[in-house]
Amino acid sequence: MSTRLNIIVAACENQGIGINGELPWRLREEMKYFSRMTKMTKSSEKQNAVMMGRKTWESIPDKFRPLPGRLNLVISSRAKNPGPEFNGSTVCSSFKEAIDKVHSRAEVESVWAIGGSSIYEMALESDHLHRIYLTRILKDFECDTFLPSFDPKKFQIVTDPLVPNEIQQEGDITYKYEIYEKLK
């Protein structure tokens, strides 16, 4: 298995990641970081895949769907008869089917789990998990969706030259990027 599975997520102090199907914050630079990280490949011949649940897909404004420059995988129980609302994406009935689809496509370099909570939970349990790219929002927000907890002892904190180390600030919100690499 050469395809690497990464999680990319922003969570506030209470581990919240969303409310009413939306992000609780508006962070333009953090969204650019998300886009850059999920698009960037080492090989110009390849692209990355983004894996998400149906609700995450539906939370992306129509004009941004599918997320450009990436293979969009949507995990949905509606996979047997996906409607036009999934145009531009590959619909899979399970996490395993999504991983299998990626393995059958030589042009995919990395897979990014981008939400929601149940997709993150499956990715955290996956043998394919390589890294968690966590944007830690240093503030509390009211949320109804949360990042599943993970055992930090199973990971080591690493740095990536493409990820800023210093505290970021947008408006009245400060945040920092953390990268957890799964121990072998």
> Which among 22, 27, 29, 30 is annotated as catalytic?
30
Residue with tokens 């493409």: 162
Q: Report the half-sphere exposure of 90 (CA within 13 A, side-chain side).
A: 16
> Is the C-alpha dihedral spanning 59, 62, 63, 69 positive or negative?
positive
- Number of residues in the chain: 184
- Whether 89 and 101 have beta carbons less than 8 Å apart is answered as no
Locate 80 and state its tokens. 């047997």
30 is catalytic: yes
147 annotated active-site: no
In the set 23, 27, 124, 147, the catalytic residue is 23
Return the active site residues.
Answer: 23, 30
